[in-house]
Amino acid sequence: MKIAVVGTGYVGLVTGACFAEMGHCVTCVDVDAEKVAKLKDGWMPIYEPGLKQIVLRNSEEGRLLFTTSLAEAMVEAEIIFIAVGTPSGEDGSADLQYVLAVAGEIGASLSDYAVVVTKSTVPVGTAEKVKAAVARELQERGAEVAYDVVSNPEFLKEGAAVEDFMKPDRIVVGVDSDRSRDVMRELYKDFSRNHDRILFMGVKDAEMTKYTGNAMLATKISFMNEIANLCDRLDVDVENVRLGIGSDSRIGYSFIYPGCGYGGSCFPKDVRALIHTAKENNYQPMVLQAVHERNEDQKHVLFRKITARFGEDLSGLTFGLWGLAFKPGTDDIREAPAVVLLGELIAAGAKVLAYDPEALEAARTELPPHWFEHGCVTLVRHQYEALEQVDALALVTEWKPFRHPDFRAMKEMMKQAIIFDGRNQYNPLNLKEDGFEYFGIGRH
């Protein structure tokens, strides 16, 4: 099939590359000309395991093309995916300006029947708006072309995006016509080989499913963070509690690790957007509101532990920071708890040596430039470099190389053997026995 994918971010690039890998002919479009030029040269704008190989292979074999021109990508395209960002607006709502701009552009160039698919995470009712935006442009130029709008939310996880896309738990497709249902079934049949993974439903049902999934996962995290904070006060080891409840098959072990709160480009904005949708519909979302508030507060928990140990004024102190990405396996630092902690440490007068296996470049380009002035933050290329004469280490992202570091070497390098551990996955280290002063979340 011939496919156009609009937006080459985490979702668009993975979607385009994976459909090309399945033999389809895909053209990826982005307004960012520099990104497109670099992709054409085989340069990856994001870190995602396995993605580079697929992009390079399919580009070389001519099945994956990149352009800045949507009109060019749409020539003969049977399916057009909209995979652009839907960031939070000031009021917490999902900002649909990019999605609707693309829909308008599609209407301006559409010449044959196509299925327009919203893959971006969008609130209930957006497909209707997309449909109207396409119709307006068609009407403007007096063209009569049939098209359908389908909702196909994406459930991939950053850090495992290619694997998730290739082996999805389920493929949710919201349709309102038999014609678009047939096109989507044909498109996804290669992903459902040993059993049918496609769940067809109404368009609005599909839009709501995406938000509900993310909100549920965010709820589990915030719930467990609340329990961990309580464990702190009761001198209870939350790790034992986690194992105790996770073994209940109704609860399960996933998403019940306490930590510094959820970040990234999805959970925070999607919970906010769902809260906004509820309020817009005169409904007070008490659970969602609490999930959001617990998470906002959770991002400050590690800093509070630091000031409880060192006092409010941290000037003259240097901290090592391991982990900047919002989770392991990605270079994404959007709404990352580590970034909140970093800002607090700087504001309190501390100096920070920060390390992340993949997110150093993102940190260099996306963090406020004044953070790098006067040596407030130094990004280092090796995890142990972040320990040179530091007064304490803050561990935030649970990257694998941080699980079993060389504690003897660490102690020799650090001025004080103190660790603040905000990772939401505990390792079996007995840091106390190794002579460290240890502060975990729900764990001492």
Q: Does 83 bind ligand NAD (CB under 6 A)?
A: yes
Which of 173, 117, 113, 165 has the alpha carbon at shortest distance from 143? 113
In the complex with ligand NAD, the residue whose CB is nearer, 120 or 180, is 120
In the complex with ligand NAD, the residue whose CB is nearer, 85 or 174, is 85
Choose, by CB under 6 A, the member of 3, 11, 187, 413 that binds ligand NAD: 11
Structure tokens at 122: 């969008």
Q: Which stretch binds ligand NAD (CB under 6 A): 9-17, 219-227, 234-242, 358-366?
A: 9-17
The answer to whether 266 is a known catalytic residue is yes
Choose, by CB under 6 A, the member of 3, 20, 28, 29 that binds ligand NAD: 29
Which of 298, 296, 307 has the alpha carbon at shortest distance from 349? 307
Identified catalytic residue from 18, 28, 260, 266:
266
- The least distance separating ligand NAD from the CB of residue 258, rounded to whole angstroms, comes to 22
Q: Does 98 bind ligand NAD (CB under 6 A)?
A: yes
Q: Which stretch binds ligand NAD (CB under 6 A): 96-104, 317-325, 345-353, 372-380?
A: 96-104
In the complex with ligand NAD, the residue whose CB is nearer, 30 or 207, is 30
Q: Does 318 bind ligand NAD (CB under 6 A)?
A: no
Torsion, Cα of 96, 98, 103, 107 (10° steps): 140
Q: Does 151 bind ligand NAD (CB under 6 A)?
A: no
- Element spanning 99, H or E: helix 97-109
Choose, by CB under 6 A, the member of 27, 58, 59, 86 that binds ligand NAD: 86
The DSSP line for 170-232 is -EEEE-SSHHHHHHHHHHHGGG-SSS--EEEE-HHHHHHHHHHHHHHHHHHHHHHHHHHHHHH
Residue 118 dihedral angles phi and psi, to the nearest 5°: -85, 115
Helix/strand/coil for 118: strand
Q: Does 16 bind ligand NAD (CB under 6 A)?
A: no
Q: Which stretch binds ligand NAD (CB under 6 A): 80-88, 135-143, 181-189, 277-285?
A: 80-88
- The least distance separating ligand NAD from the CB of residue 153, rounded to whole angstroms, comes to 7
Which of 422, 443, 441, 426 has the alpha carbon at shortest distance from 253? 426
Structure tokens at 139: 């009407």
- The least distance separating ligand NAD from the CB of residue 32, rounded to whole angstroms, comes to 4
Contact, 309 vs 439, CB < 8 A?
yes
DSSP 88: B
In the complex with ligand NAD, the residue whose CB is nearer, 123 or 442, is 123
Q: Does 116 bind ligand NAD (CB under 6 A)?
A: no
Choose, by CB under 6 A, the member of 120, 126, 180, 222 that binds ligand NAD: 120
Angle subtended at Cα 272 by Cα 116 and Cα 339, rounded to the nearest 5 degrees: 105
Q: Which stretch binds ligand NAD (CB under 6 A): 27-35, 339-347, 388-396, 407-415?
A: 27-35
In the complex with ligand NAD, the residue whose CB is nearer, 267 or 355, is 267
- The least distance separating ligand NAD from the CB of residue 251, rounded to whole angstroms, comes to 25
In the complex with ligand NAD, the residue whose CB is nearer, 15 or 318, is 15
Residue 122, judged by CB atoms within 10 A of its CB (0-12, 13-18, 19+), counts as buried
Structure tokens at 69: 């021109």
Contact, 229 vs 202, CB < 8 A?
no
Contact, 136 vs 107, CB < 8 A?
yes
Angle subtended at Cα 59 by Cα 58 and Cα 61, rounded to the nearest 5 degrees: 65
Q: Which stretch binds ligand NAD (CB under 6 A): 26-34, 225-233, 340-348, 433-441?
A: 26-34
The site for ligand NAD (CB under 6 A) is made up of 6-12, 29-32, 35, 83-86, 98, 101-102, 120-121, 154, 156, 158, 265-266
> What positions carry a catalytic annotation?
266
